[in-house]
Amino acid sequence: MRILLAEDEVTIHVTLRDALEDAGHLVLHAPDTAQALALLDSARPDVVLTDIRMPGEGGMAVLKRSIELDPRRPVVLMTGYGTIDQAVDAMRIGAVNYVQKPFRNESIVQMVGTFSRVRELEEENELLRAQLSAATPMEDFVGMSAPMCAVFERIRIVARNDATVLIEGESGTGKERVAQALHRLSPRASRPFVAISCAALPETLLEAELFGHERGAFTDARREKKGRFELADGGTIFLDDIDDMPLAMQVKLLRVLQERKFERLGGETTRTLDIRVVAATKVSLREHARLGKFREDLFYRINVVPIALPPLREREGDVQLLVTHMLARHGGGRAYKVSAPTMAALERYPWPGNVRELENAVQRAIALCEPASGTAVGELALGDLVPLDPRWRGATEVAGPVRPLREVLKEAEKGHLVRALEQTGGHRSQTADALGISRKVLWEKMRDHGLLVQGESAE
């Protein structure tokens, strides 16, 4: 890292410079404000370490100029005369840290090492973005792991013909996107793609939704209506959650798949279909058939070409790609970053909700992220990305620089308050009694942690 060290005390600048250079960094020294400002313009340092009190305008002027030139560059202020107000002003303007003299040189070296890792991560993310388009030409697909590359290749091969496809995978793995890709890459791409969830409709409505109905077929059938199969004629129909389809409906579906013919509900005219069928299941249909929960003959009819989607926990290396893609997709034009230790924790987390859970987590973290004033980049917190669930605490443990004790205590206090409120059903008096505090103190703590409903008073 190229470091600008703006410090007029010889003892400090010599010893700190030696420590930083021993760690492999290049140090540019400025003994006063004027030289520091000149080096900011000419040398373009990666990090700025500046004393607040030195000849000239001082470190606050260096901070402000650095923010103007590069809002993403880390600036650390050093002083032997620090006050709380001064620290608050510096952080508000955009300083990433504020340290008081005397300090241990090792702590500054460690801090600069953290900045270096963040920069490496940002550069790596840029490279990953460039790799995404080359590695996954299919729209909406992100992944370079071996299991996903096998899925991509299967989709490319199968899309060319009309064979019925059964997509198997846990909830949240992207089964509908696979179905859309099969359609988009097929000769039927210009024709309709129609999707229906077999779990979303009751049995009494599912038949009419699939096959349509004639006028007067039942009480509310005031006009004829085309079903999903008819709407998809010439294209692709996607039957999601087919494992939830009632057995009686499975018999009717079997005939459509065998003969490509059907009648509307209440009608007598037999209609012929030119259609490709793609189905999806979140459970093993083979096991369902063995247990009598799914027709065996229908299983063999739809299981012509199976595509198994791996859960996210088995897609080594894809979490980082997905997070980068999702930050670009949902960031609204703003820049966000995830530290290397946090990214490592996300890779270890098992993601029971798969890609859907990860995307929800990224959107939640973006919504909760408050970039420091004057900075262009927001850093997403691990606690906002992964639920603080005791079952996963070991998986999300971050190894890295020690966090300030007040942050850890505040986070722990908030989590304890939330759990206490959940156990009492939100009853304030019971919660206060269980915590051994007054109702007023409980209200104050809930206010401090943002747990109050807007406008709620202590009463």
Report how far residue 386's alpha carbon sits from residue 379's, in angstroms, rounded to the nearest whole number.
14
> What does the pLDDT read at residue 238?
95
Report how far residue 335's alpha carbon sits from residue 117's, in angstroms, rounded to the nearest whole number.
17
> What does the pLDDT read at residue 136?
45
Decide if 2-125 and 146-309 have a common fold: yes
The torsion defined by the Cα of 413, 418, 419 and 421, in degrees rounded to 10, comes to 120
| pTM of the shown model | 0.56
- Digit-by-digit pLDDT tens for the chain (459 residues) are 889 999 988 888 899 999 999 988 999 999 999 999 999 888 889 999 998 888 988 888 999 999 888 888 899 988 877 666 777 777 778 888 888 888 889 989 988 888 888 777 776 666 555 444 444 445 567 888 889 989 999 998 999 889 999 999 999 999 999 999 999 999 999 999 999 998 888 877 888 889 888 888 777 777 888 889 999 999 999 999 999 998 888 998 998 999 998 888 888 888 999 999 999 999 999 999 999 999 999 999 999 999 999 999 999 989 988 998 898 888 887 888 888 888 888 888 889 899 999 999 899 888 888 765 555 678 887 777 876 555 555 555 555 566 677 777 888 888 888 888 878 878 888 888 888 898 888 888 888 888 876 555 555
Q: What is the DSSP letter of 291?
A: T
Identify the residue whose tokens are 């409505």: 205
Degrees (nearest 5) of the Cα angle 413, 415, 416?
65
Report how far residue 287's alpha carbon sits from residue 285's, in angstroms, rounded to the nearest whole number.
5
> What does the pLDDT read at residue 129?
54
Q: Which tokens go with 249?
A: 């409906």
The CATH class of the 405-459 domain is mainly alpha
> What does the pLDDT read at residue 128?
57
CATH topology classification for 2-125: Rossmann fold (3.40.50)
- Cβ pair 50, 59 in contact under 8 A: yes
Cα–Cα distance list, 88 to 77, 91, 232, 323, 341 (Å): 12, 5, 62, 32, 27
CATH 1.10.275.10 for domain 313-402, yes or no, is: no
> What does the pLDDT read at residue 277?
95
Q: What is the DSSP letter of 371?
A: P
Centre a 10 Å sphere on the Cβ of residue 33 and count the other Cβ atoms it contains. 22
Report how far residue 330's alpha carbon sits from residue 127's, in angstroms, rounded to the nearest whole number.
19
Q: 146-309: CATH homologous superfamily?
A: P-loop containing nucleotide triphosphate hydrolases (3.40.50.300)
- Cβ pair 167, 280 in contact under 8 A: yes
Centre a 10 Å sphere on the Cβ of residue 199 and count the other Cβ atoms it contains. 13
Report domain extents, the chain: 2-125, 146-309, 313-402, 405-459
> What does the pLDDT read at residue 392?
56
Report how far residue 28's alpha carbon sits from residue 96's, in angstroms, rounded to the nearest whole number.
20
> What does the pLDDT read at residue 133?
44
